[in-house]
Chain A
Amino acid sequence: MKTPTPLVLDLIDAIGEEAVVWHDEDLLVYEYDGTIDRGNPDVIALPAGTDDVANLIKIANKHDAPVTPRGAGTGLSGGALAAKGGVIIGMNRMRRILNIDAENKTALVQPGVVNLDLGTEAERHGLAYAPDPSSQRACTIGGNVAENAGGPHTLAWGTTTNHVLALELVTADGEVQWIGHDTRDEPGYDLVGCVVGSEGTVGIVTQALVRLVPRPTAVRTMLAIYDSVRQASNAVSAVVASGIVPAALEMIDKMTIAAVEPVLNTGFPLDADAVLLVEVDGPESQVEAEGARVEGILNRFEPREVRSATDPEEREQLWAGRKGAIGALGQIMPNYYLLDGVVPRTKLPDVLDGVYEIAERYRLPVANMFHAGDGNLHPCLLFDEREPGATERVLDAGGEIMRLCVDAGGAITGEHGVGLEKRDYLPWIFTEADMDTMKALRAAFGPTENFNPCKIFPKGHGCGEAGHQHAQHQIAKFGPKAFV
């Protein structure tokens, strides 16, 4: 029989027995997120409010225990893993939408609110919450804030950082403060801008005031079917260059279609090499005219067909194919490794070619479904972890694809975060001085040793995750030199 440690006893004392998870079999579910890596937390604490969070952090600090915040655990960079054990503070119980202010177009929410639930609630007021990650049925606002989450509709509206106005934050030293302001008029540094996208390394968000946006009066979603990925990506470039900013511009390739179609019956043809999903929205007259122009552009690149959906049900069906893609990939292989690279939009066709070439070289099936309009790639390498050496090949190929994005003038993550998984690659983009500056910012928020350790920055001690070894292969191959 396991006996509770003094840390566990203190946590139970603070928030009650039912809110503390510490038996081995119960910890299992917290060992994973959406990545290959895993972490082994000692204990999970589930706070009910801001004061709980502050108390928990102080208790963990007293015991020198690492703290890792966690939302829904849908993250794709290992950000929610307890890399050095310690306490995971799970935010799932704080899931109330506290207020929707329709006139000022804001919503005040707790961090455990599911993204889609906020969207649904906003819709009742004729408004929308713009960031819509594909995991929006599960992922939470707190996690979205941490990762600066995007989604298909950030092409027109920007990512999470453009939509967060103020935050209640418990910093790494356990202090609570509100930062930001309803209309961004609090004089001083943009603390909210610093916290959004900091991957939960400077504190835990306990309330968020977010901006809602008006819903467009009309929407048209087009599906263009192509016989070559090259043609599809050329069409993407042409749409972007045309001066139209679609609400969304997504690409889905053959491997993805093969996974999605049998499960979701979205109507994507199985023998097409790539399909594009393009959405335009706005006033009726704008949608009509822009839709026609986009259709004209798509038609220039010899599509097999361009279909159009305007009624909500048809549109929903098309989007189901895109947003359900990751889940459906399990049809093909038991495991997947989803990457997240960004490149300047004109580099997209060449980089895509490179992605297929790398996957082939490593003998890995690859599925691509991504935010083409933003130049944000999501190659998904498929494998079976039971096959000896498969995981290693996946990690190596992943590193090579990251390098391809960097060499194209891009970045190693557009919306999933650096997390545990890609921290060794950060020096491909940033110099020591750049990273020292980031660390200086982190230090301003409190002690850094034990708060969400091993994330973002390379060279953490005692972090020992699987991916680290393999990152070293790629770094040895391409050199550690910063891309400047």
Chain B
Amino acid sequence: MADADALKVAALTDLSGTVETDPGRLQRYAVDGQVPRAATKANSIADVEQAQSVATGHALSVIPQAGRTMLALGMPPRRYDLALDLSGMSQIVDYEPNDFTITVEAGMTLAELQRHLAVNGQFLPLDHPRFERATLGGLCAVGRGGLRRNSFGAPRDWLIGMRVVKADGTSIKGGGKVVKNVSGYDLPKLFAGSLGTLGVIVELTFKLRPLPASDQIVALSAPSFESALTAGRAAAQAAPFLNGCVVLSAEAASEAHDLGAKILHDQPALLLRANGLESAASEVLAQGLGAAREAGLDGPERTTAAIVETWQAVVDLETQTAADAVRLRLGVPPANLSRAQQALSQALPEATSWTAASDSGLLFVEVPSIDADTIKSLRRQLGPLQGRLTVESAPTELKQSCDIWGPSGPGARLMHNIKEQFDPEGILNPGRYVDGI
């Protein structure tokens, strides 16, 4: 064993990217308390190809990463030899603004991309926590829609092309640079949302949208989170073209406030966002507000000019979980949101920080602690409501005693087949994804 380990470390010195083996410095690459043997910082696709080729040759398990904003998500790794750091790959590869498409390296942050695009009046319609750090490769690997998914969808909906380095170091592409394309299988859909278990995303091409002429947020205070939730549903139904319809508990509002949101401290709130031409945004917002008021929210409304700061603070709540606390994420058809929330609330009396998107049935809740049995029983209750509960972040001990992803659905067989085809040695993010993948 010792010989094999020595061989592995020796192999790492062949890597073309910068290699880090100092145990102290490797601490920053820890995942669920596990520190890799080495980290390598790739500066090019060739570096990634070589890293994967060496990793395959020596059966090193690899966790690709860059902004490290979402590494709390996932089961503890079964093995962790090499941190493959892509944060050095952050260039624009190809951008023709009038095509409304852009190709970038995977390590570019979402905020950086948006700044480049804004110069040309464009943007990528995605929300993500900590967007100054979160990279496009990372957020696509996680692949989920955020609080505005009702109108924005998920990364999959904007990705039109991708270059990926496979487990064995071969670089391949899927999709292309055109906005409509059915030439060959849609590989970008496969890699988006695969949590780095099938390949290392190195380049991405997105279709883009024009920045709206006007963007408006209005906040309404509510007597309780539950009443805000009801009003949120009413608003979402009356104004289906809202760009955002988010409900915060008093605690969540305070946290968002402290992160820079221009909303009232310690008051449950309904946040409505609309954009487009100014008159249209106002029209949509008025529809939503009217319905929320009819549903019982009669407090004063507050608008803010600090749109981006306010919204981002709310989005950032997702990654603001206290170190020993647990954050749960629930996705449920929007009509079932209130019922699902009640089930959670009864089982989790200590939960105070709630965030929900009323228009798309997405809910986050933070609890000081929870045990594996409660999670199981909640999943049983939420099943008939088509609710899917995942443990977003939790102390490693809890992850060891429960499946954070939940019982695998009927598609698990196919997922294992895919994993076997793409990473037969099981070196990419081993054990972190669903059903032990």
- Complex alpha-carbon distance, A194 and B192, angstroms: 11
Contact B280 A285 (CB under 8 A): yes
- State whether A437 and B187 are in contact (beta carbons under 8 Å apart), knowing that A183-B331, A445-B414 are contacts in the complex: yes
> B154 on the interface (CB 8 Å rule)?
yes
> B361 on the interface (CB 8 Å rule)?
yes
Question: Which residues 178-197 of A have a CB within 8 angstroms of B?
Answer: 178-191, 193-194, 196-197
A-side contacts of B189, CB under 8 Å: 161, 190, 193-194, 196
Contact A188 B412 (CB under 8 A): yes
Closest Cβ–Cβ distance, residue B45 to chain A (whole Å)? 12
Closest Cβ–Cβ distance, residue B157 to chain A (whole Å)? 5
> B390 on the interface (CB 8 Å rule)?
yes
Task: Give per-residue flags for B154-188: 1 if the beta carbon is below 8 A from chain A beta carbons, else 0.
Answer: 10110000000010001111101111111111110
Closest Cβ–Cβ distance, residue A304 to chain B (whole Å)? 26
Residue in A188, A284, A346, A415 whose CB lies within 8 Å of B96: A346
Closest Cβ–Cβ distance, residue B143 to chain A (whole Å)? 7
Which listed segment binds B: A11-19, A133-141, A241-249, A308-316?
A241-249
Contact B414 A190 (CB under 8 A): no
A-side contacts of B283, CB under 8 Å: 283-286
> A39 on the interface (CB 8 Å rule)?
no
> A426 on the interface (CB 8 Å rule)?
yes
Question: Which residues 87-138 of B have a CB within 8 angstroms of A?
Answer: 96-101, 121-122
> B145 on the interface (CB 8 Å rule)?
yes
- State whether A414 and B411 are in contact (beta carbons under 8 Å apart), knowing that A187-B388, A190-B156, A193-B186 are contacts in the complex: no
- Complex alpha-carbon distance, A257 and B317, angstroms: 56
Nearest A-chain residue to B284, judged by Cβ = A283
Nearest B-chain residue to A192, judged by Cβ = B189
Closest Cβ–Cβ distance, residue B77 to chain A (whole Å)? 17
Contact B412 A190 (CB under 8 A): no
Which listed segment binds A: B50-58, B215-223, B246-254, B402-410?
B402-410
B-side contacts of A242, CB under 8 Å: 210
- Complex alpha-carbon distance, A240 and B228, angstroms: 39
- Complex alpha-carbon distance, A105 and B417, angstroms: 32
> A108 on the interface (CB 8 Å rule)?
no
- Complex alpha-carbon distance, A433 and B154, angstroms: 28
Nearest B-chain residue to A425, judged by Cβ = B183
Nearest A-chain residue to B233, judged by Cβ = A103
Contact B184 A426 (CB under 8 A): yes
Closest Cβ–Cβ distance, residue A420 to chain B (whole Å)? 14
- State whether A177 and B410 are in contact (beta carbons under 8 Å apart), knowing that A188-B433, A345-B100, A414-B178 are contacts in the complex: yes
Question: Which residues 275-330 of B have a CB within 8 angstroms of A?
Answer: 276-277, 279-280, 283-284, 330
Nearest A-chain residue to B171, judged by Cβ = A433
- Complex alpha-carbon distance, A431 and B121, angstroms: 35
Contact A198 B185 (CB under 8 A): yes
Contact A190 B192 (CB under 8 A): yes
Closest Cβ–Cβ distance, residue B100 to chain A (whole Å)? 7
> A158 on the interface (CB 8 Å rule)?
yes
Question: Which residues 424-475 of A have a CB within 8 angstroms of B?
Answer: 426, 429-431, 433-438, 440-445, 456
Contact A346 B98 (CB under 8 A): yes
> B25 on the interface (CB 8 Å rule)?
no
> B434 on the interface (CB 8 Å rule)?
yes
Contact A438 B187 (CB under 8 A): yes
- Complex alpha-carbon distance, A221 and B406, angstroms: 48
Number of interface residues of A (CB under 8 A): 88
- Complex alpha-carbon distance, A199 and B412, angstroms: 22
- Complex alpha-carbon distance, A179 and B331, angstroms: 16
Task: Give per-residue flags for A96-131: 1 if the beta carbon is below 8 A from chain B beta carbons, else 0.
Answer: 000001011110000000000000000000000000
Which listed segment binds A: B35-43, B263-271, B332-340, B341-349?
B332-340
- State whether A282 and B241 are in contact (beta carbons under 8 Å apart), knowing that A184-B154, A416-B182 are contacts in the complex: yes
- Complex alpha-carbon distance, A344 and B208, angstroms: 13
Nearest B-chain residue to A238, judged by Cβ = B98
Contact A243 B121 (CB under 8 A): yes
- Complex alpha-carbon distance, A371 and B181, angstroms: 13
Nearest B-chain residue to A214, judged by Cβ = B240
Closest Cβ–Cβ distance, residue B419 to chain A (whole Å)? 8
Contact A344 B186 (CB under 8 A): no
Contact A417 B182 (CB under 8 A): yes
> B393 on the interface (CB 8 Å rule)?
no
> A410 on the interface (CB 8 Å rule)?
yes
A-side contacts of B121, CB under 8 Å: 243
> B381 on the interface (CB 8 Å rule)?
no
Nearest B-chain residue to A242, judged by Cβ = B210
> A399 on the interface (CB 8 Å rule)?
no
Contact B157 A441 (CB under 8 A): no
Contact B183 A178 (CB under 8 A): no
B-side contacts of A186, CB under 8 Å: 388, 409, 411
A-side contacts of B331, CB under 8 Å: 181, 183-185
> B421 on the interface (CB 8 Å rule)?
yes
Contact B176 A345 (CB under 8 A): no
Nearest A-chain residue to B94, judged by Cβ = A409
> A375 on the interface (CB 8 Å rule)?
yes
Residue in B99, B183, B187, B422 whose CB lies within 8 Å of A429: B183
> A148 on the interface (CB 8 Å rule)?
yes
- Complex alpha-carbon distance, A442 and B189, angstroms: 14
- Complex alpha-carbon distance, A297 and B95, angstroms: 24
Closest Cβ–Cβ distance, residue A329 to chain B (whole Å)? 22
- Complex alpha-carbon distance, A411 and B181, angstroms: 7
A-side contacts of B277, CB under 8 Å: 285-286, 289-290
Residue in B144, B181, B210, B415 whose CB lies within 8 Å of A189: B415
Contact B184 A430 (CB under 8 A): yes
- Complex alpha-carbon distance, A374 and B121, angstroms: 19
- Complex alpha-carbon distance, A415 and B180, angstroms: 7
> A89 on the interface (CB 8 Å rule)?
no
- Complex alpha-carbon distance, A444 and B176, angstroms: 23
Nearest A-chain residue to B192, judged by Cβ = A190
- State whether A161 and B186 are in contact (beta carbons under 8 Å apart), knowing that A104-B335, A182-B333, A183-B331 are contacts in the complex: yes
- Complex alpha-carbon distance, A184 and B194, angstroms: 14
Closest Cβ–Cβ distance, residue A379 to chain B (whole Å)? 16
Residue in B156, B186, B187, B209 whose CB lies within 8 Å of A245: B209
Question: Which residues 275-326 of A have a CB within 8 angstroms of B?
Answer: 282-286, 289-290
- Complex alpha-carbon distance, A162 and B332, angstroms: 18
Contact B333 A104 (CB under 8 A): yes
Nearest A-chain residue to B240, judged by Cβ = A214
Contact A183 B180 (CB under 8 A): no
Nearest A-chain residue to B154, judged by Cβ = A184
A-side contacts of B405, CB under 8 Å: 187-188
Contact B96 A197 (CB under 8 A): no
Residue in A161, A286, A376, A431 whose CB lies within 8 Å of B279: A286
> B193 on the interface (CB 8 Å rule)?
yes
Q: In this complex, which of A147, A444, A456 has the most chain B Cβ atoms within 10 angstroms of its Cβ?
A: A444
A-side contacts of B433, CB under 8 Å: 187-188
A-side contacts of B69, CB under 8 Å: none
Residue in A171, A187, A345, A412 whose CB lies within 8 Å of B183: A412
Binding site for A on B (CB under 8 A): 96-101, 121-122, 143-145, 153-154, 156-157, 166, 170-174, 176-187, 189-190, 192-194, 198, 209-211, 213, 237, 240-241, 276-277, 279-280, 283-284, 330-335, 360-362, 386, 388, 390, 405-406, 408-415, 417-418, 420-422, 433-435, 437
| 23 sampled A-B residue pairs with Cβ under 8 A | A103-B334, A103-B335, A105-B240, A154-B180, A177-B413, A178-B411, A187-B390, A187-B405, A187-B433, A188-B412, A190-B143, A190-B156, A190-B192, A197-B186, A241-B97, A241-B98, A283-B276, A344-B101, A409-B177, A410-B177, A414-B180, A414-B182, A441-B418
6 shortest interchain CB distances as A-B pairs: A185-B331, A193-B189, A286-B280, A243-B210, A214-B240, A444-B417
Q: A286-B283, A441-B418 are in contact. List 5 more A-B contacts (CB 8 A).
A: A103-B334, A184-B144, A374-B180, A409-B177, A413-B182
Binding site for B on A (CB under 8 A): 101, 103-106, 147-148, 150, 154, 158-159, 161-162, 171, 175, 177-191, 193-194, 196-199, 214, 237, 240-245, 282-286, 289-290, 342-346, 371, 374-376, 409-418, 426, 429-431, 433-438, 440-445, 456, 484
